[in-house]
Amino acid sequence: MNEQHSFRAEVKQWIAENFPRTLAGQNPATVGYAPALEADHELWRQRLAEKGWGAPTWPKEYGGAGFSQKEERIITDELSDADAFNPIPTIALMGVTMVGPTILDYGTEEQKKKHLIPIARGEVTWCLGLSEPGAGSDLASLRTRAEDNGDCYLVNGSKIWTSGAHHSNWCGAVVRTDPDAKKRNGISFVMLPMDQEGVEPRPLKLISGASAFCETFFTDAVADKSDLLGELNDGWSVVKRLLQHERQSQIGARTAGAKSERVQDIAERYVGLDDSGKLADADLRQRLANHLMDRQSHALTLGRIAAEAKGNVEVSAASSILKNSATHVSQTRADLILEIMGDQGLGWEGDAFDPNELETVRSWLYGMAASIAGGSFEIQYNIISKNILGLPETTQQG
């Protein structure tokens, strides 16, 4: 325990001495990127990269700091308390949370040294080519193919929902390499640079008014054979692991610098209190209490899992349970805030609404995607039933 206190004190001091105060509250993940602060953003990225704090739990030889998950949480807590943030996971997009951990699991030593260090330093941005127009929940039905061309593969086809593809340097894609094999057996996972003639990302606009989503088209795009992740035709194993890492990143860890007002305080301001000091709307009061209990139960479950694992939580099918729980908590919060604000929570533009009110409906709309992103509620329930409860397979075999 004394070691944790000492580590926390060191982290607090380093942040105080190195975080540019001009960036306080300027986390790009929550407020967008401020071009006027570009030099300070770059200085802060470099300082974090040199400490290995972009991906603190990764081994030092691959750009991390070799810390435990408990130490990583201390860093996250102290960054948040200082109104600071770690921008590198945002810069890397899918790199820190998904691609990097999967390379650690399946990559060769050459692949780890080539790809992990730039990811951990925030020097490259990654997207993923998974879903296709005809292969969403049934991802194994994908048709994008990679054909052997000597020392490389030529990739042809299209992907959809490739978040950040128009800003990315690299793409990790699942492709069909054996059209004659059963659909889950003829798939491989390749990594390819986006800056080439055969790759065309096209941004998609969502109803919320903004979107990082793209559809991406491959026409004889080149993927070096040295960038095949895992074994040829065993990409299904790789992508299943990658999706476990994605769900692990969505189970409710606090985002450094992402402070938000308590729902009960918003309710007090918009709904008001009765003579006894209670929220004036009794029904809303009960539903708000239920939400707060659900949120606390979710947080305590995460804490228990971390404690039982001595701070190093294994990524497993159990992340599907926590992913659904986190989605339920976040969507319920958005629903409650929208209801609490009433008409003021439905504004899209105009001087009658303050910035927080304008953001409310957009956040509510965007949050609907959480039921689908990273695997839909129904997909998670299938995983839970088969891999945790041991129930028989009832979905289509392939």
Q: Which residues are catalytic?
A: 246
Instruction: Let me know: does 271 contact 284? Beta carbons within 8 Å.
Output: yes
Q: Which long-range contacts (CB under 8 A, 24 or more apart) does 24-27 make?
A: 24/82, 24/83, 24/84, 25/83, 25/257, 26/85, 27/85, 27/87, 27/90, 27/255, 27/256, 27/257, 27/258
As given in the structure block, the two tokens for residue 389 are 């409860």
| Residue labelled with tokens 């086809």 | 157
Using alpha carbons, select from 328, 327, 329, 358 the residue that is nearest to residue 345. Answer: 358
Interatomic CA distance for residues 128 and 224, integer angstroms: 17
Instruction: Let me know: does 229 contact 189? Beta carbons within 8 Å.
Output: yes
Pairing of strands 126-129, 170-176: parallel
Count of positions (residues) in the chain: 398
Using alpha carbons, select from 84, 88, 103 the residue that is nearest to residue 50. Answer: 88
As given in the structure block, the two tokens for residue 303 are 């804490």
Residues 6+ apart with CB under 8 A from 32: none
Instruction: Let me know: does 387 contact 375? Beta carbons within 8 Å.
Output: no
- Following CA atoms 73, 79, 85, 91 in sequence, which dihedral angle do they give, to the nearest 10 degrees? -40
Q: In one letter, which amino acid is 238?
A: V
Residue 185 in 3-state DSSP?
coil
Interatomic CA distance for residues 375 and 323, integer angstroms: 9
